[in-house]
Amino acid sequence: MQPARDIVSTRELSKELIIQLFNRADELTNGVTPPLLTGKRLGTLFFEPSVFVRLAFESAMIKLGGGVLYSTEFQFSEINSLTTDSHFFDMVKLVSDFSDVLLLRHPFEGSAKLAAEIADCPVINCGDATHSPIQALIDLYSIRTLKKQIEGLQIGLVGNLKEARNVKSFIEAVSNFNAKICLVSRDELRLSGRFLHDFRLRAENDSNFGLEEFYSLKECISKLDVLNLSNLEINLEGEKHKYVIDEAVFTKAKRDLMIIPPMPRKAELPIDIETRLSPSSPTPFGTFFTQAQIGVNLIVAILEYLLYQE
């Protein structure tokens, strides 16, 4: 199969490709040794901070025998100057010239798509204002791994859906798998109308994709198989507030409810909530660190797919 040129949006990823990447990650988890990518260079351009996704890629690239170009002077500290016109074009071109694959995080919507047009190597979108395909794929792969399937699941998304960058990408990815999405938010934090309208239309026309909206977690917690906590910071009148979830709501939750917390976690839930909900959980941090470990094999599969050509 011809390698994908870039991974900038889950909308552009076919169900077949997603399954192919997941299956490959499964093989790696089961002990298959990936081919080495000796001499391959991972370029990074982060105009906003990132911990988990960047570390996962750097770790995977090192595991595969490649190297990481960590261009500190282009990092987010110079965001004001580097988000303007020519700087962006020049930096993407320059870093891609020295790289075999380029990681990008940038605050403007569609910036990764533009970077993919400029760059001479594949571009991986590690997050712009409304796309976060890598996080979406990691979340979905974690669900498939821990729940053994995606089809038929009811997946809740709660938090500040209006400003969360991963929500749109996650819904796009889930929509391939005959699962149902439950959006939970107060009116002022609802998913942006332009996306909501699009997803509603798709749900109307595609019997394999379900979408329901709720005002409160209480209304739907009992039927959820997965709860994905999105951006849990709220900007109100210039002040940041935390979106805190009342623990009592989980008394009605399924015993095997899988919780995907945002990374890094904040004070939205007690840190041991998953252990108390699911005593069989392997760690006191539930899926957070489990997911991080699961995600690395998926990242290896993505790098291998983009860079390794027989």
Partner 1 sequence: MVTKQIIIDNIPRGLAFEVLRVIGIDGTFTEPAKIELNIESETLGLKDKITIHSPLDDRFFARLSLIASTITIEEIDELGNSRKQDSIDLPDRIIRMICCDNDQCITNKMPVTPKFSVEKEGLVPRLRCEYCETIIEQLIFEETED
Would you tell me which residues interact with partner 1 (CB under 8 A)?
A: 9, 11, 83-85, 88-89, 108-111, 113-114, 129-131, 168, 194-195, 197-198
SS3 119: coil
CB of 250: closest distance to partner 1 in angstroms?
34
Note whether 51 and 263 are within 8 A (CB).
yes
CB of 172: closest distance to partner 1 in angstroms?
9
CB of 191: closest distance to partner 1 in angstroms?
12
Nearer to partner 1, 85 or 188 (CB): 85
Q: Exposed, middle or buried by CB within 10 Å (0-12, 13-18, 19+), for 39?
A: exposed
* Cα 262–Cα 268–Cα 274 angle in degrees, nearest 5: 75
CB of 85: closest distance to partner 1 in angstroms?
5
Omega before 34 cis (within 30°)?
A: no
> Measuring CA to CA, how many Å separate 231 from each of 87, 135, 227, 300?
29, 13, 13, 26
CB of 282: closest distance to partner 1 in angstroms?
37
CB of 31: closest distance to partner 1 in angstroms?
38
Nearer to partner 1, 100 or 172 (CB): 172
Q: Which amino acid is at 61?
A: M
Separation CA 125–CA 179 (nearest Å): 25
> Measuring CA to CA, how many Å separate 123 from each of 50, 56, 135?
16, 16, 15
Nearer to partner 1, 194 or 255 (CB): 194
Nearer to partner 1, 11 or 276 (CB): 11
- Which among 148, 138, 302, 293 has a CA at the least distance from the CA of 228? 138
Nearer to partner 1, 110 or 210 (CB): 110
Separation CA 127–CA 135 (nearest Å): 8
CB of 89: closest distance to partner 1 in angstroms?
8
Nearer to partner 1, 104 or 227 (CB): 104
Nearer to partner 1, 70 or 108 (CB): 108
- Give all strands of the β-sheet with 123-125 in edge-to-edge order: 67-70, 41-46, 101-105, 123-125
